[in-house]
Structure 1
Amino acid sequence: MCPDGMEMSPLKRPSEDADYEDGRRPAPRTPRIRACAECKRHKIKCEPVDNEAKCAKCLRSGAECVPYNLNQRLLDEDAAWKANASAELGQLRSAVQRLLQYNKLPGLNSPPEESPQPTSGRPMTISPTNIMSESGHTTMVVPPSMDMTRDTSVERESGEESGLVTAPMKSLYDLTRIRNLSSSVRWKPNSNSVDEDFIGQCIVPLPEAEDLFKRYMQDIRLYLWAGVLFPYNSLDAVRRHSTLLTAAVLTISALHTPGRDEALQKCYNIFVSLVYSACLARPQNLDDIRALALAAFYLSNLSWKLAGLAVRNAVEMNLHMSYQKLMRGHEDQRDNVRLWYALYVCDHQFSIAYGRPSIIHEDIAIKNVDRFLDSPKTTPGDIRLGAQVTLFKILAEAYITYGSDPEQPLTEPDFQQLRLFNFAIEQWRLAWQARSADSPAIGSYPSKGVVLYYHFARFQLNSLALRALPAPRAATSESLSYDRREAANIAISAATSTLTLIFEEPDLRKAMTAVPIFTHTMVAFSATFLLKMAKTWGGMAQAQAQSPELWATEPIGLGLNFNIAQVLSLSRRSASFLAKVAQNLNEKHITRHIVHGINDLLTRIDVAATTTTSTTPSAAASTSAAFPVPSPSSVSAQVVFDPGKGAHDQAPPDPSNEYNMYDLIGSYGFGFDETFFGQVASTNLDFWQTDPF
């Protein structure tokens, strides 16, 4: 027992107890596992020396003191590694703290937000950093903490609602004063420093940025309503107002310039990163909304997402109220109204393109677009913009009337309303083609563009007559009534006129390298529709040419004015023309893939080696003029009928020829993603393949 009655620890030696009795604690010794190699070899006691790495024997002899046990070496190396790691972690922590302070983000010592826990299973762990991969490039986004701070200002902001009845969220904000609930967002120009943006940091060198900007200003800007979405004349001006708009313009320019793959990839990555950062932020800059809309018109893989984001941000900034303010005499709202009209067209173009409902309805600004254009301050770009607003008002009403269900055919009463829509489009062309004045820079594109949209609108509307019809061989004169045949023939004529107009108008051909992707979609959809008509209905022409007696009860094509040879010729010209257009664009541009898709359809339909079945003069004479007997170069070899079988026993040998009317015309929309892009072989899409949203 110890003097104080406690038991002595078995780990303590008597010598240690003696030291404790006189109040002196032994000096700490250097830890060592067994003897060193030198002492072990001489079989002597290895005596460590305080504050020395060597033992007493090795110090006297000058020998290297190496631990006999390798574990000692591991302990020494571990201690050295920990010391170095601690120093490096301190440096990294200091650097991260500076970065967080520079970006006005919470510091490392800020208390973390409590993350929600699932009701069952393992606890959910939420990392403070989100890691997203964009085509092999890793982007780290540090989210800010949830802001539930109160607004200390009691002053009413200008433009806020007043009175007893307000918006529900406005009442909640008045009650709680939480900043994030405020329904009014003031426009604030960005105080961007040109020394801190991606050009100032030399991610995109200044000479390269100036070259791309010059390309955009000279060759692209004027084709979108004379630059309504881009009100700046110099690169320095746009850099000072919006980094996002700068990135959008340079990305679009690189996409329309051949050989700028590296610049396109850099600008695209910057633009997408900036969109990610701004996605959940409160909008405070109209130029950022312009950037989203501008990119939606030209970046095919992001168009749908960017158009919706731009509209929601604009509504949050009360841009939809700009028209009323302008009518009350606030002339500073005129550009805001222009932006609202551009967003309306953008929203409806891609809503129709994808066959989906639009976001912006026909509000007071849309209904009174003519009143907006009555001002003496109206520009030629305003006229062109107003023309598209009024056209998409008609198409939006048709969408509401007929919907987008591909399995819902039009009824006979529906065709009376369809005639009214056709009449409205005729009136639209008469009203706006004359008002769309030619331009010295882009020639007759404004007026010819009205004609192009006129043909396409008629095609889009009247193609609904073929929706959800039975297969051609099962169709009768009852299923294809006079009204339905009339509308179907208008659709065929309009699709043909769309392609023909582009070939015959020099200013339209010149514009195809700079127009938004919606115009390219017109060409793609028209050619696709006509080629599928040739594949679907063209077999009937060949069947009657081979066995006219089997088709005596029903006229070939059931009265559809369709010429297979003309369709194949137009489609080949379309592919050839767009291939030349693509030579002046970057290889990532959608035009190259449209060419590939049209050629793929032509390969499946137009085969050089065709059947050489002879046709008697009487059989040829009995063939309907609507479907002349195809020449050997225009008859599909994939649709071959056996004359020895009955008309309704004929079957195409290729399962890929099975009839699908939805595949022919899509829904009310173009079937932009489902029908067309599903056929385009993505040979080298790189960063277009993955939608980052």
Structure 2
Amino acid sequence: MSHYLGLRKPQNGTIRRESPLAGHKLATPAPTLQTLLEDDVTWKGAVVQKIKRLEDTIAKIASKIDLSDLDLQPRPEDPEPMSPSVAVMANSERPASPGLQLRDERKLTQTWEVVMDPRGGPASIPASCVSENIRTALPNSLPTSRRSDLISTGIITLRQALALFDTYHLRLDHFLYRILGDHISLDSARIASPLLTAAVCTVGALHSPSLGHLFEICYAEYKDLVTSQVFSKNLNADDIRGLCIGAFWLHELSWALIGNAVRVASDINLHSGIYKALKGDREGYLQARLYYLVYVCDHHFSIAYGRPPMSREGFIIESASRLLETEHATEDDARLISQVKEWSVLGKVFDTFGVDVDTAIAPETIPQLRRYSIALDTWFADWHESFSENRRVGNYPQKGVGFHFHFAKLYLCSHAFRGVPAGENATQCFSPELEEIANAGVLSAMSILRVIVSDAEFRSFMNGLPLYFDTMLAFAVVFLLKVATKYATVIRIDTSKILSLVSQTVVALRGITQSMHRQHLLVVIAEGLERLLVRCQVPVPAAQEAAYHASPAMEPHAHFEMGWMENMASFDFQTNFPDMDDWWIHYNTPMGPGRAMGPV
């Protein structure tokens, strides 16, 4: 080393270096290895900090001038930055200045400030005067749209992504009133949100006959994106779309996803868009429309599971019909608003009767239950003939109104069985009014099953409809089996006709699910109902015996289904559909409860 530094080392252990002053020799101590390492680390640390500041500056410039293709992520051939352990070692012996340390702590923790909007008056939102300084809170964060997605990272190819986008955009999105909105191309979705892109690809793979093998990797990427952005301050309306798409179709994540969507929707004030929408503003229209989608999705996964909805009623819900009077409204909007109206009624049912399924409803509340039933009848009359055939999903817009109506009536009328014991003792609990309501529930459940059995077009919809349909179909089957086996002496029903209809439905479900992805919830439900029917020893019509055959592999789990039936304390929606964790435990699907973020 001395040779390369132009130094020579004498025998006495000191280094003599030629001095330009006075021609005499200067003796200096030899630099130790520790000193050299510290100097090297200090230099590298300074360079890394300068590069980091340069990257931050470029990122800010890119966000201002919309350089969407700019990639600041390190490539494999790029040198790795200095490890944290080395930096700590280098700086551990250099005590920081108390004043500098205090300023750094304030910079990290004090991200809120008092503000006063000069355009607003005293009648403002109370908390609007205390606002978080996003630039201070997240100095190194990039907008969501600047992050890589599952295509740029090589998880799937561009060609595969295009096919999955078409599967979702050209069919599935039309079942849910076009969640994508203005995003009619993959490029548009990618620019808008990697989360939205992952959601579309994941749900598309779940319903793709040729690319279903991509579901697991797309699903894993989507879940990672959701997890990494839980605390992000940069989520936007398109990220909400991605959360809703996942919630509507991905059973393991639905409750957690819609909870996050409701939170973000509130954070960005989607509920206030209705005020601008009613004045003709298109941005306000898009905001209000997206809020209605969040509202419907939230109610799909709350009321039917005994959970209070997180989205609130208010002016935006009361004014839903007025959105259809704006210049931007379409038939898809009318379908969406019809759902808002229906779930507003069911939300009131939930608030009135609660979730105490073990206690019979009070006699004085029966008139209120009847009023809700009339409200649903009125809803059906208002919307049943409102929709025409859709070029993407056929006659679903009209047929879906009828299906939703019977789902709602079944949920409402199942309240008649609350706290009613099975068998002979039930007779004394049923008043004529309750018996009438109970029979209405039976008729609605049978109407649901008849559609599945007799309507080939509607059966083709089942590999595409959101999770709510699968759940309610399972509930209708269980409801009728319970009535036929436990309450046949209480209400006037044709038991043999009910059991025959149930067996035909199970056969139909097997046919529907044969070509579906094995991770689809309806596949699990179809197999579970088939096992349940075997345990109930319901005879299958002779004409269907060849088609209907319970696999021997199902038998080890059969005791579970019967126990589930026997252990239902009362006859209400919440107690007639098993907890989904039990389905995963007993049906041994790869996506078990240990991996779930929330029951669905």
TM-score range (shorter-chain normalised) is: 0.7 to 0.9
Q: State the Cα distance separating 1:442 from its structure 2 match.
A: 2.1
Task: Report the secondary structure of 2:405's partner residue.
Answer: helix
State the partner residue of 2:510.
Answer: 579
1:691 is aligned to 2:596? yes
8 A Cα contact 1:260 1:586, kept in partner: no
Q: State the Cα distance separating 1:237 from its structure 2 match.
A: 1.5
State the partner residue of 2:440.
Answer: 490
Aligned equivalent of 1:534, options 477, 480, 484: 484
Task: Report the secondary structure of 1:203's partner residue.
Answer: coil
Match for 2:342: what amino acid? L
8 A Cα contact 1:220 1:514, kept in partner: yes
| Alpha-carbon distance in 2 for matches of 1:99, 1:584 | 52
| Alpha-carbon distance in 2 for matches of 1:406, 1:197 | 46
Q: Map 1:168-207; keep pairs closer than 5 Å.
A: 168-173=126-131, 178-179=133-134, 190-192=144-146, 196-207=148-159
1:214 is aligned to 2:143? no
Q: State the Cα distance separating 1:534 from its structure 2 match.
A: 2.5
Q: State the Cα distance separating 1:156 from its structure 2 match.
A: 3.7
Q: Map 1:381-400; keep pairs closer than 5 Å.
A: 381-400=332-351
Q: Which ranges in structure 2 are unaligned for 5 or more consecutive residues?
A: 1-9, 15-39, 56-71, 75-80, 90-105, 541-560
1:371 is aligned to 2:322? yes
Q: Deviations over 1:568-624 (max 9, x none)?
A: 222222222222222332111111100111012101101669xxxxxxxxxxxxxxx
8 A Cα contact 2:360 2:418, kept in partner: yes
Match for 1:208: what amino acid? Q
1:567 is aligned to 2:498? yes
| Alpha-carbon distance in 1 for matches of 2:377, 2:133 | 52
| Alpha-carbon distance in 2 for matches of 1:277, 1:166 | 34
1:424 is aligned to 2:375? yes
Match for 1:210: what amino acid? L
TM normalised by structure 2 equals: 0.75
Q: Deviations over 1:80-113 (max 9, x none)?
A: xxxxxxx9xx99999999899757999949999x
Task: Report the secondary structure of 2:130's partner residue.
Answer: helix
Aligned equivalent of 1:502, options 449, 452, 470: 452
Q: Which ranges in structure 1 are unaligned for 5 or more consecutive residues?
A: 1-22, 28-86, 113-144, 183-187, 539-556, 610-653
Match for 2:523: what amino acid? R
Q: Map 1:452-531; keep pairs closer than 5 Å.
A: 452-476=403-427, 478-531=428-481
For residues 432 and 97 of structure 1, do their structure 2 counterparts lie closer, same or farther at Cα, with a shift above 3 Å needed? farther
Deviation larger for 206-215 or 356-365: 206-215
Aligned equivalent of 2:222, options 257, 271, 274: 271
Match for 1:519: what amino acid? F
| Alpha-carbon distance in 2 for matches of 1:191, 1:655 | 51
State the partner residue of 1:411.
Answer: 362
Q: State the Cα distance separating 1:680 from its structure 2 match.
A: 7.5
Aligned equivalent of 2:313, options 353, 359, 362: 362
For residues 562 and 96 of structure 1, do their structure 2 counterparts lie closer, same or farther at Cα, with a shift above 3 Å needed? farther
Q: State the Cα distance separating 1:377 from its structure 2 match.
A: 2.8
| Alpha-carbon distance in 2 for matches of 1:272, 1:157 | 42
| Alpha-carbon distance in 2 for matches of 1:492, 1:473 | 19
8 A Cα contact 2:320 2:337, kept in partner: yes
* RMSD of aligned residue pairs (Cα, Å): 4.0
| Alpha-carbon distance in 2 for matches of 1:26, 1:338 | 82
Aligned equivalent of 1:606, options 528, 531, 537: 537
State the partner residue of 1:66.
Answer: none
Aligned equivalent of 1:314, options 256, 260, 265: 265
| Alpha-carbon distance in 1 for matches of 2:136, 2:520 | 41
| Alpha-carbon distance in 1 for matches of 2:88, 2:266 | 35
State the partner residue of 2:122.
Answer: 164
Task: Report the secondary structure of 1:513's partner residue.
Answer: coil
| Alpha-carbon distance in 1 for matches of 2:565, 2:316 | 47
State the partner residue of 1:348.
Answer: 299
8 A Cα contact 2:143 2:234, kept in partner: no
| Alpha-carbon distance in 1 for matches of 2:565, 2:221 | 45
State the partner residue of 1:78.
Answer: none
Q: Map 1:316-331; keep pairs closer than 5 Å.
A: 316-331=267-282
Q: Deviations over 1:1-56 (max 9, x none)?
A: xxxxxxxxxxxxxxxxxxxxxx98689xxxxxxxxxxxxxxxxxxxxxxxxxxxxx
| Alpha-carbon distance in 1 for matches of 2:576, 2:399 | 26
For residues 600 and 171 of structure 1, do their structure 2 counterparts lie closer, same or farther at Cα, with a shift above 3 Å needed? same
| Alpha-carbon distance in 2 for matches of 1:217, 1:431 | 29
Match for 1:428: what amino acid? W
For residues 408 and 147 of structure 1, do their structure 2 counterparts lie closer, same or farther at Cα, with a shift above 3 Å needed? farther
Match for 1:424: what amino acid? A
TM normalised by structure 1 equals: 0.65
Q: State the Cα distance separating 1:170 from its structure 2 match.
A: 2.6
8 A Cα contact 2:251 2:521, kept in partner: yes
Aligned equivalent of 1:290, options 238, 241, 256: 241
| Alpha-carbon distance in 2 for matches of 1:351, 1:674 | 14
| Alpha-carbon distance in 2 for matches of 1:243, 1:527 | 39
Q: State the Cα distance separating 1:151 from its structure 2 match.
A: 6.9
| Alpha-carbon distance in 2 for matches of 1:472, 1:209 | 56
Q: Which has the higher helix share?
A: 2
Task: Report the secondary structure of 1:301's partner residue.
Answer: coil
For residues 410 and 678 of structure 1, do their structure 2 counterparts lie closer, same or farther at Cα, with a shift above 3 Å needed? farther
For residues 508 and 248 of structure 1, do their structure 2 counterparts lie closer, same or farther at Cα, with a shift above 3 Å needed? same
Aligned equivalent of 1:682, options 587, 591, 597: 587
| Alpha-carbon distance in 1 for matches of 2:146, 2:562 | 59
Q: State the Cα distance separating 1:149 from its structure 2 match.
A: 4.5
Q: State the Cα distance separating 1:401 from its structure 2 match.
A: 0.6
| Alpha-carbon distance in 2 for matches of 1:146, 1:680 | 49
Task: Report the secondary structure of 2:129's partner residue.
Answer: helix
For residues 199 and 471 of structure 1, do their structure 2 counterparts lie closer, same or farther at Cα, with a shift above 3 Å needed? same
8 A Cα contact 2:414 2:571, kept in partner: no
Q: Map 1:98-247; keep pairs closer than 5 Å.
A: 108=84, 147-150=108-111, 156=117, 162-173=120-131, 178-179=133-134, 190-192=144-146, 196-225=148-177, 227-247=178-198
| Alpha-carbon distance in 1 for matches of 2:379, 2:360 | 27
8 A Cα contact 1:247 1:270, kept in partner: yes
For residues 317 and 475 of structure 1, do their structure 2 counterparts lie closer, same or farther at Cα, with a shift above 3 Å needed? same
Percent of aligned pairs with the same amino acid = 30
Task: Report the secondary structure of 1:338's partner residue.
Answer: helix
Q: Map 1:538-687; keep pairs closer than 5 Å.
A: 538=488, 557-558=489-490, 560-606=491-537, 656=563, 660-662=567-569, 664-667=571-574, 674=579, 678=583, 681-686=586-591
Deviation larger for 256-265 or 359-368: 256-265
Match for 2:244: what amino acid? A
- How many residue pairs were aligned? 504
| Alpha-carbon distance in 1 for matches of 2:109, 2:144 | 24
Q: State the Cα distance separating 1:211 from its structure 2 match.
A: 1.7
8 A Cα contact 2:324 2:333, kept in partner: yes
| Alpha-carbon distance in 1 for matches of 2:295, 2:586 | 32
- Whose Rg is larger? 1
| Alpha-carbon distance in 1 for matches of 2:493, 2:581 | 22
| Alpha-carbon distance in 2 for matches of 1:181, 1:469 | 60
8 A Cα contact 1:148 1:179, kept in partner: no
Task: Report the secondary structure of 1:328's partner residue.
Answer: coil
8 A Cα contact 1:525 1:676, kept in partner: no
For residues 436 and 684 of structure 1, do their structure 2 counterparts lie closer, same or farther at Cα, with a shift above 3 Å needed? same
